[in-house]
Chains A and B, each alone.
Chain A
Amino acid sequence: MCAASNPVAGRNGLAVLDPEEIRRALTRIAHEILERTHGGDGVILLGIPTRGVPLARRLAARIGEFEGLDVPCGSLDVTMHRDDLRLHPARALGRTELPPGGVDGKTVVLVDDVLFSGRTVRAALDALNDLGRPRAVQLAVLVDRGHRELPIRADYVGKNLPTSQREVVHVLLTEVDAQDSVMISGEGGKP
């Protein structure tokens, strides 16, 4: 989770994905989900707040366009399951909203903006465990920036982005930030 709700204005960074590229990446992921799940039967998309949620909605809309399939879409807040809670002041919770019917027996595709250490995904797997028993869990991310600290990998990746530990990757989405782009900044300790 590098893309916290930081203000966008005045940030100097390098744009690595423009709106068109984000659109194409999501289109490809939507097709891949359909392919791997044999037509998307029993699939539900759960976005991890904040920016995973609009990404999950966009993927659901694409899948609807391509196959006329209504894929249930929801959100999964992982705050209470994080392993770094004690390192920060208590934070506000995001929303957990499951589609009617829950997760039991479904193929759950978790959706997030950036995959980094893998700790958010671990928290999401724990949170999911308390909500029911999915048939399978997969992971879709817009950007995989490497530096994993846990044995976790994504099933669907929008873009593999080699980064250094000190760089910061920001995903900006129209629904949250009024623009679509992926920026990389902060090499050399700049915020």
Chain B
Amino acid sequence: MKRHLISAADLSRGDAVLILDTAEELASLADRPIKKLPTLRGRTVVNLFYEDSTRTRISFEAAAKRLSADVINFSAKGSSVAKGESLKDTALTLEAMGADAVVIRHGASGAAHRLAGWVQGSVLNAGDGTHEHPTQALLDAFTIRRRLRGTGTAGARGAGLDGLRVTIVGDVLHSRVARSNVLLLSTLGAEVTLAAPPTLLPLAVGSWPCAVSYDLDSELSKSDVVMMLRVQQERMSAAYFPSVREYSRRYGLDAARMARLPGHAIVMHPGPMNRGVEIAAEVADSVRSTIVEQVANGVTTRMAVLYLLLGGTEFPATGVAQ
């Protein structure tokens, strides 16, 4: 494993499988009377959030606390950032306070990468602009493996996602979740297809390790996993589709479309959902939906990442960033 987790592309197949296996062992912790391990006692994890977030911040906080780390939450609102402090100065402040890991969410793509050059501790990217969100991809891969490859003993341990067909639907252009998932899931051996209107696909999508389709209906019957993305209206500066209604008609997952999926297929959504836009309420609440499971798996997966980055020997201080 590298010292930081900035991009899903930093993970080799071996790293990714190790994280999933570690998460699998940590999952049993949720059923125990004492949901806490002493492993990161005395380590400090800083949550540095420049963008609003509910589940990711809480998830990282819960994960760090279950491993007995001290957690400092920092949100841009109500801090010196509001007075104009730069990312670098904030980073140096955190450094002086002795942070062993910094979990950063930032509106600018590449912020986590920049931060990694300024601090000694590990940097975990919790979403940077429209670039990447690697722990989301890891928890999605973990959810897929548990649902479709089984849990518990020998079955899943050490396994990737070979041969599974994953269709990622919707606003790929603004989605850091999509990019991280394409990179990670293909590393793990899954065949990924993006289904989206041409206006919501990035220009360089041809160089991504995935197939592209403009027609969701033709992909449904051959998908083991359908991952719906949120239409990110807050990042949209132009009109990418004629109307929400038309988008929903062509790329929304409703009960009729769900019925065309193979019997074992699952429906995922990274949240927060726009019910009635990209996903219909009856689909979101169906037994095939893993949306609530993804949240629970998020804590487990982030515990695995924190343990693997911080649990062992400290990385040499002179080590090359990244």
Contacts and interface: CB of A to CB of B under 8 A. Distances in A.
Interface of A: 77, 80-81, 85-96, 126, 130-132
B311 A92 contact: no
- Main secondary structure on chain A at its contact with chain B? loop
B38 A90 contact: no
A95 B34 contact: no
A100 to B, nearest CB: 12
A148 to B, nearest CB: 22
Given A81-B37, A131-B32, A132-B33, A93 B21 contact: yes
B305 to A, nearest CB: 10
Nearest to B314: A86
A6 to B, nearest CB: 19
B32 A90 contact: no
Interface stretch (B22-30, B123-131, B196-204, B279-287): B22-30
Contacts of A86: 312-314
Given A96-B25, A96-B28, A90 B37 contact: no
Nearest to A127: B37
Q: How large is the interface on B (under 10, 10 to 19, 20 to 34, 35 or more residues)?
A: 20 to 34
Nearest to B308: A90
A93 B21 CA distance: 8
A185 to B, nearest CB: 27
B32 A85 contact: no
B23 to A, nearest CB: 9
B21 A92 contact: yes
B50 interface: no
B18 interface: yes
Given A86-B314, A130-B32, A130-B34, A93 B26 contact: yes
Given A90-B308, A92-B21, A94-B25, A81 B38 contact: yes
Nearest to A91: B312
Contacts of B309: 90
B39 to A, nearest CB: 5
A80 B39 CA distance: 5
Interface in B284-322: 307-314
Given A88-B313, A89-B313, 14 more contacts: A80-B37, A80-B311, A81-B37, A81-B38, A85-B39, A85-B312, A90-B1, A90-B309, A90-B312, A92-B21, A93-B21, A93-B25, A94-B25, A95-B153
B307 A89 contact: no
Contacts of B21: 92-93
Nearest to B157: A95
A73 to B, nearest CB: 14
B311 A85 contact: yes
Nearest to B25: A93
B272 to A, nearest CB: 32
B45 to A, nearest CB: 15
Nearest to B22: A93
Contacts of B36: 130
Given A80-B37, A81-B38, A92 B312 contact: no
Contacts of A81: 37-39
Interface in B124-157: 153
19 contacts: A81-B37, A81-B38, A86-B313, A88-B312, A89-B313, A90-B1, A90-B307, A90-B308, A90-B310, A91-B312, A93-B21, A93-B25, A95-B25, A95-B153, A96-B28, A130-B36, A131-B32, A131-B33, A132-B33
B5 to A, nearest CB: 13
- When A and B form their complex, which 9 residue pairs have the shortest distance between CB atoms, in order from nearest? A90-B312, A93-B25, A90-B311, A89-B312, A130-B34, A80-B37, A80-B39, A90-B308, A93-B22
A54 to B, nearest CB: 14
Contacts of B314: 86
Nearest to A82: B39
Nearest to A129: B34
